[in-house]
Chain A
Amino acid sequence: MGNNSGYKYVIIGNSAAAVGTVEGIRRIDTAGSILIISDEPHHTYGRPLISYLLLGKTDRQRMKYRPDDFYEKNGVTTKLGVAVTKINPDEHTVETADGETIAYEKLMVSTGSNPFVPPMDGLDAVANKFTFQNLDSALALGEAITSESDVLIIGAGLIGLKCAEGIIDRVRSVTFVDMAPKVLPSILEDDAAAIIKAQLEAVGINFYLGDSVGSFDGNVATLKNGGEKLTFDVLVLAVGVRPSIALVKDAGGACGRAITVDSRSATSLPDVYAAGDCTESRDAVTGDTKVMAILPNAYLQGETAGINMAGVNYAFEKLIPCNAIGFFGKHILSAGSYTGDVYFTNDGTNYRKLFYSDNRLNGFILIGDKHPKDGEIPAYDRAGIYTRIIRERIPLDSLDFELIRDRPGLAAFSRAARGELLGGEQ
């Protein structure tokens, strides 16, 4: 199919899920035409890197998720800076904001998520307010802050905390307000959250937790419960995100909180696939359908979709929530679900909590220093061995759990399993 009659593959979005889709397609079909349409005008970039950009640990060139010649090498046409406004599933076309109608044989929807801003009295009149969701929002925030800025961040989740790390050395103060009683409420248990909060307080960050802004009066926020009046120069809204589902929902596709996809990343609409933060899929640990909005899963879902879009039936059924967060001298690595019995050690620096039940490892939280002392093995070292045990649902009685619970290693597996892993036994 040529450009005039449409494309074999059309991809909405240009981030990890879209790149995964391209690479999945090209594993099977090296020739079929691909069009990427994105409302963002930029070359594909690693979205989680926006905090590192403000921090100065990366730059616009190095944060490119794939090399400059990625589209050319993969035979991808791009239409950037233009939003898709409608999917017509019966006609197999999409409509774009600039008035084009483009035909597809297979469609990928990787529209990501949008910042959720709850209604707050007086918010409309606040001048310097920002979200922290994509490159443009990060660049705008970077322009607005000075060494004299007092920054108020609403929401002490991952987005807000990463934002704080990005700007802390460039502003006078950072203050958080969050309705939850702890930081990182969706990722950490109470005790781990307390460790991270203490770490943040040590670098001068202020917290008002279990509270919310009742109203804004210009640059003063009044808290609902405590009544404190907080004066700020710059406001960052990081309360949360909502999956961008409108295109698929309006086209009649099945959606829960997000776009419903199966293990092939297919939606309920024929020839329409979806991947990444806009989707909900099955958690391999709990079996629940949930949004697991992290970059590795976006790539894996996209790649899975691409393989299927190119005509090969392929299911990936091993998605689990997992997070690697590094900030302020600590690394937090977590995966799976925090359910079942608990194995816990904490020497004040290295925090290790494993969750298990019914002969399976369900999840873990590991915290250690970014710069461990000489000879010290940080708790997060080799964490991927635990992740595999969770992801593959490996029975714990097939390995030496007493050995591995204190330190992940392949020594805990049987000789035969190790032979398979390392290829020694023939």
Chain B
Amino acid sequence: MKRVYVNEKWCLGCHLCEYYCAFAATGKDDMARALKGVKLRPRIHIEGDEKGSDLKNVTFAVSCRHCTEPLCVKGCITGALTKTDGVISVDKDKCVGCYTCVLSCPYGCIQGTDEGAVDKCELCVSTREGTPRCVAGCPNAAIVFEER
């Protein structure tokens, strides 16, 4: 099963992955138009570069690991979170936004939305390109999509 892997040694902290992720979620063709004036809600986040800590100048991207033993799926009270063919996805029609998964995810990779249902990385399965947009758009190969 292919997974997204992140190597912080190569991360520039440019946040492009966040833009590509937010763009993928819009389902539109033109990135600039799709994201202009829109509140960005990427499912991948750059962490690090914490001022005054050891992490100054260190950055890395974090998104759903699509865990082998997914606590979010096992704890979901509605059955909205499921894992199919290695991809954990959320059925937004079933989700009631109780945030049990926010409480369960060891990576902090499920987030609430204003609409109520939670949001998470689904490996761009809906764009049908094979490679997640965050990976394709990373200029320094700090995010890769590999079978290991």
**When the two chains form their complex, are residues B106 and A385 in contact, meaning their CB atoms are under 8 A apart?**
yes
B100 within 8 A of A: yes
* A: interface residue count bin: 35 or more
Q: Which of B5, B79, B100, B103 contacts A422 (CB 8 A)?
A: B5
Chain A CB count within 10 A is highest, among B48, B71, B101, for B71
Report chain B residues within 8 Å CB of A48. Answer: 77, 98
State A225–B6 Cα separation when bound (angstroms). Answer: 62
Do the beta carbons of A333 and B102 come within 8 Å of each other? yes
| B55 close to chain A: CB less than 8 A | yes
B112 and A411 form a contact (CB under 8 A): no
Distance, CA A321 to CA B98, complexed state (A): 16
Please tell me if the beta carbons of A49 and B47 are within 8 angstroms of each other in the complex: no
Q: Encode contact with A along B82-120: 1 for CB under 8 Å, 0 otherwise.
A: 000000000001101111111111111011101010000
Q: Once the chains bind, are A384 and B112 in contact (CB under 8 Å)?
A: no
Q: Report the Cα distance A378→B104, complex, angstroms.
A: 16
Decide if A415 is an interface residue (CB 8 Å cutoff): yes
- Nearest CB on B from A251, distance (A): 29
- Inter-chain CA distance A62–B55, complex, in Å, is 44
Cβ of B8 within 8 Å of any chain A Cβ, yes or no, is yes
Contact residues of B: prevailing secondary structure: loop
Interface centre among B5, B9, B104, B116 (most CB of A within 10 A): B104
Across the interface, which residues of B come within 8 angstroms of A381, CB to CB? 102, 108, 111
Q: Does A253 contact B (CB under 8 A)?
A: no
| Chain B residue at minimum C-beta to C-beta distance from A378 | B112
Q: A381-B111, A418-B8, A424-B9 are in contact. Are A403 and B53 (CB under 8 A)?
A: yes
Give every chain B residue within 8 A of A423 (Cβ-Cβ).
Answer: 3, 5-6, 65, 148
A176 within 8 A of B: no
Q: Determine whether the beta carbon of B78 is less than 8 Å from that of A296.
A: no
**Chain A residues near B65 (CB-CB < 8 A):** 421-423
Within the assembled complex, what's the spacing in Å between the Cα atoms of A105 and B55?
56
Give the tally of cross-chain contacts (CB within 8 A).
Answer: 140
CB-CB under 8 A for A324 and B98, given A384-B107, A385-B108: yes
Quick check: A299 and B8 within 8 Å, CB to CB?
no
Contact A422 B104, CB 8 Å, known A295-B75, A299-B75: no
Q: Is A322 a contact of B6 with CB atoms below 8 Å?
A: no
Interface residues on B, range: 35 or more
**Do the beta carbons of A421 and B107 come within 8 Å of each other?**
yes
B39 adjacent to chain A (CB < 8 Å): yes
B residues less than 8 Å from A58 (CB atoms)? 78, 94, 96
A374 in the interface (beta carbon within 8 A): yes
On chain A, the residues within 8 Å of B74 by CB distance are 20, 296, 299-300, 303
Given A46-B78, A385-B107, A423-B148, decide whether A296 and B71 contact each other with a Cβ distance below 8 A: yes
Measured CB to CB, the residues of B under 8 A from A are: 3, 5-9, 39, 47-48, 50, 53-55, 58, 60, 62, 65, 71-72, 74-75, 77-79, 93-94, 96-108, 110-112, 114, 116, 142, 148
12 pairs, A vs B, C-beta closer than 8 Å:
A57-B96, A296-B100, A296-B104, A300-B74, A333-B99, A370-B97, A383-B108, A384-B104, A384-B106, A400-B55, A419-B8, A424-B8
Sample of 18 further A-B pairs with CB below 8 A, known A333-B103, A387-B103, A409-B47? A46-B77, A46-B78, A58-B94, A62-B78, A324-B102, A326-B99, A371-B114, A380-B99, A383-B102, A384-B101, A384-B107, A384-B110, A387-B106, A388-B106, A409-B108, A410-B107, A411-B48, A424-B6
Binding site for B on A (CB under 8 A): 16, 20, 46-49, 52, 57-58, 62-67, 295-296, 299-300, 303, 322-326, 331, 333, 335, 370-371, 374, 378, 380-385, 387-388, 400, 403, 408-411, 415, 418-419, 421-425
